[in-house]
Amino acid sequence: MIRQLDSQDRAACETLLFQKPAENLFIISDIENFGFEEDFQTLWGDWNAEGELSAVLLKYHSNYICYGDGPFDGKGFASIINQDPDFRELSGLEEMTNEILPFIARRKKHSRQLYYAKMDQLVPSPSPDGGECVQLATVKDIPSIARLFDEIDDFEESENREGSLKVGMESKSARTYFIRKGGKLVSSASTTAENSASAMVVGVCTHPDHTKKGYASQCMERLCEELINEGKSLCLFYDNPDAGRIYKRLGFLDIGFWTMHIYEPQEVGIV
């Protein structure tokens, strides 16, 4: 049985989602940050015959994320999505979205698939020459971090990079560790979507003039060590096998593929 969830269902959501906090990072973060009553966020749950919550569908603005522990009513979730004229994206672990995709009555624009990896235990690595001085960033470091990101070809351009970094730091949903050489920030690793149980690692990079010196690995190790000590599970996306090998040396393990399916706007008169 599928029904909309409210604040009285928080405990049931936690029982389901906190079993795998890395896999459910986005849903947990959105519930903790926005709850069940916001206009831009709605949650539905699929309840099994024993009265237990077995799957969750979350709408955040025009995006939907799904998670289920075992079989769930993918057709029923798709029916909810199909009634939303603002629907643009369905995302989640591949095995979850595959339960819903066959029933989506909307023309798809494109899909993207990324490796999804998580860490529950850090594997420390020896640092060359005793390691560099890895520092925790504060708000005053944001312009330097943004400049570094702007110099990395793999990063998308952003007109509000500094603003996003500031919001993350001030809300304590993000943090960054970095290495500075010759007065210039040359490498960093960050988190986003931090919640009480998990965090996503992002922004792992090194300036092109300072690569192959182990700087990014040192930033990653310091970042991951702090979060693991706080009892949080870590996760990250990657699509570059070379980057994947670096992450795995630190203790990240692949847990599947994260898929993002982007859809065309609903045509006028089509329901």
Check whether residue 241 and residue 126 sit in a common domain.
yes
| pTM (global) more than 0.85 | yes
Check whether residue 161 and residue 182 sit in a common domain.
yes
Whether 63 maps to a domain, the answer reads: yes
- Give the residue carrying structure tokens 């795995």: 248
Q: What is the 3-state secondary structure (H, E, C) of the chain?
A: CEEECCHHHHHHHHHHHCCCCCCCHHHHHHHHHHCCCCCCEEEEEEECCCCCEEEEEEEECCEEEEEECCCCCHHHHHHHHHCCCCCCEEEEEHHHHCCCHHHCCCCEEEEEEEEEEEECCCCCCCCHHHCCCEEECCHHHHHHHHHHHHCCCCCCCCCCHHHHHHHHHHHCCCCEEEEEECCEEEEEEEEECCCCCEEEEEEEEECHHHCCCCHHHHHHHHHHHHHHHCCCEEEEEECCHHHHHHHHHHCCEEEEEEEEEEECCCCCCCC
> How high does pLDDT run on average in the chain?
93
Whether 268 maps to a domain, the answer reads: no
Instruction: Report the length, in residues, of the chain.
Output: 271
Give the whole-angstrom CA distance, residue 32 versus residue 150. 31
Check whether residue 107 and residue 131 sit in a common domain.
no
Check whether residue 150 and residue 84 sit in a common domain.
no
Tens digits of per-residue pLDDT, 198-250? Answer: 999 999 999 999 999 999 999 999 999 999 999 999 999 999 888 888 899 99
Residue 129 has pLDDT above 80, yes or no: no
Check whether residue 66 and residue 166 sit in a common domain.
no
Whether 27 maps to a domain, the answer reads: yes
Check whether residue 84 and residue 139 sit in a common domain.
no
Residue 150 has pLDDT above 60, yes or no: yes
Strands 184-192 and 176-181: antiparallel
What's the pLDDT at 148?
A: 96
Check whether residue 61 and residue 172 sit in a common domain.
no
Q: What is the CATH number of the domain that holds 166?
A: 3.40.630.30
Whether 117 maps to a domain, the answer reads: no
Check whether residue 177 and residue 203 sit in a common domain.
yes
Tens digits of per-residue pLDDT, 89-104? Answer: 999 999 999 999 999 9
What does the block give as tokens for 35? 């709850």
- Residue 44 pLDDT class (50, 70, 90 cuts): very high
Tens digits of per-residue pLDDT, 57-66? Answer: 999 999 999 9
How many folded domains does the chain comprise?
2
Check whether residue 95 and residue 20 sit in a common domain.
yes
Check whether residue 133 and residue 241 sit in a common domain.
yes
**Would you give the end-to-end CA distance of the chain in angstroms?**
23
Whether 40 maps to a domain, the answer reads: yes
Give the whole-angstrom CA distance, residue 86 versus residue 37. 18
Whether 242 maps to a domain, the answer reads: yes
Domain, as residue range, for 240: 122-250
Check whether residue 137 and residue 179 sit in a common domain.
yes
Check whether residue 108 and residue 126 sit in a common domain.
no
Among 242, 222, 245, residue whose Cα is nearest residue 234: 222
Give the whole-angstrom CA distance, residue 29 versus residue 194. 7
Among 210, 219, 203, 190, residue whose Cα is nearest residue 131: 219
Radius of gyration of the chain (CA): 20
Q: What is the CATH number of the domain that holds 48?
A: 3.40.630
What's the pLDDT at 268?
A: 52
